[in-house]
Amino acid sequence: MYSHLLILSLLCSLWFNLHASTNKERLTNQIDIILAKNEIKKANLSVSLQNVSHDNPLISINSQQQRHPASVIKIITTLGALEILGPNYYWETLFFTDGIVIGNKLKGNLFIKGKGDPFLSIEDIWKIVYEFRKLGILHVEGKVFIDNTFFENSYINKKPKSNRLYEVEPNSIMANFKWVDFHINIKNNVAEILHFPPLENLKVKNQIKISDKPCISKNIKLKLKEQPEVHNVLISGEIPKSCNKYKLSRTVMSAEDYFFYLFKYIWESTDNGRLTPAYSLRKITTGLAPLINWKSKDLGSVVKSTNKWSNNLMSKTLVYSIGYDPKLGRARSKLGIKSINNFLLEHGLLSDTIKIIDGSGLNKEVRASTEDIIRVLNFAWHRNIMPEFVASLSIAGKDGTTRNLFKRKDLRNAARIKTGTLNSVISAGGYLFSKSGAVYSFAAIVNRKNLSKNKARNTLEDIIKLVVEKL
């Protein structure tokens, strides 16, 4: 009887291997057809596909080749944050005083210490001001001091590298991503500019010219130049008068300036409160009386925004937070990267092809292979943080960075994907749920100079649809 069972077991194993081999060959052949249709060379593509419950890949095309993964590297960053910090981790923004409250006045100075909340929004600032009102404080008669020292070597009071929202750098006193909307309204062939939030120290110089061209994107040629030393923003260029209304969203000012003037705007918009017209930087010492301890959204929620919307500021801030040094009382990006690498090493996930840099994927030196990515994805699937991690990935074609993709496909919520895009990179990684009920870890990267992004995206979308429907 035992010999019969052994033979049956061997036959089942043989059948499974033959079936897997047939599937692998069939999928590889169909991928070749997809590549030819989209004019993508196989040498420029890496693809890995593996059942989350199996050890061997079903598809492996250039899977060990080190490539630039762009924002797909955030898969590693966010997994590290969830594992090291925990889904319930939160950030604090602390408010102290050296004075006392008499009537509706704070007789003394107000001290503010940021500890790196990457998702401190305008709505949160309103709620913080309301907390002060509940303490009976309407007016601050002393000075305001901001402590921005919690992040070591962050971009403190420096001119930003870029005014693009995706390039905001971490700061321990960040608020609202330093986001400003410039509303351009065209009346009588003249462009008027309003900005929100209406920060009182932000002065806008308007040099916009009006054209008679059609209102299409190529005819909107606006430029924004910031002069942070005098709090000026110059907006120039050309816009068609037929556009009527247009919104230009940018990040401006230092994080400290933005926080203070946003806080001041909301403070003075509520119950006619009064606040000092300026602030100073000062490291907070002991002996101050606590007023408010504002707690952020939990890490599980922040990770969802980080991956779904590929938020670079959040991913870089996660690295800083992971790198908190209790001896220094400060957070360091380099220590965060070291901690993530140590975690990967401890669990057999680190390889010579992984190079994280700052956690975001923007840096030109970031590297990983598709084999690295699916190894991390398979690991995450079997961890306690799996629900938060999977929920953070975009539902293909439905939300996040993929909401405008997969329009030619009806995947019926069968793909949870993190995407990446740079000039020479199109990438994707996540989980695919096939019609047979199996779950697969998937990663694909296309690297090439002068890359056709549309053709590369179509290639990855076709491969994803192939897996979902045929496996």
Question: How does DSSP assign 380-395, residue by residue?
Answer: HHTSTTHHHHHHTSEE
Burial of 375 (0-12, 13-18, 19+ CB in 10 A): buried
Q: Given this model, what pLDDT does residue 408 score?
A: 76
What single DSSP character describes residue 155? -
Neighbours of 181 (CB within 10 A): 12
The pTM of the full predicted model, rounded to 2 decimals, is 0.92
Q: Residue 38 in 3-state DSSP?
A: helix
* Residue 210 CB partners (closer than 8 Å, separation 6+): 186, 189, 190, 191, 238, 239, 240, 241
Would you state the structure tokens that stand for residue 203, as one six-digit string? 């002065």
d(CA 462, CA 409): 8
pLDDT in tens, the chain (471 residues): 556 555 555 545 544 444 555 677 888 899 999 999 999 999 999 999 999 999 999 999 999 999 999 999 999 999 999 999 999 999 999 999 999 999 999 999 999 999 999 999 999 999 999 999 999 999 999 999 999 999 996 554 455 568 999 999 999 999 999 999 999 999 989 999 999 999 999 999 999 999 999 999 999 999 999 987 777 899 999 999 999 999 999 999 999 999 999 999 999 999 999 999 999 999 998 899 999 999 999 999 999 999 999 999 999 999 999 999 999 999 999 999 999 999 999 999 999 999 999 999 999 999 999 999 999 999 999 999 999 999 999 999 999 999 999 887 788 899 999 999 999 999 999 999 999 999 999 999 999 999 999 999 999 999 999 999 988
12: helix, strand or coil: helix
Task: Tell me what pLDDT residue 160 has.
Answer: 55
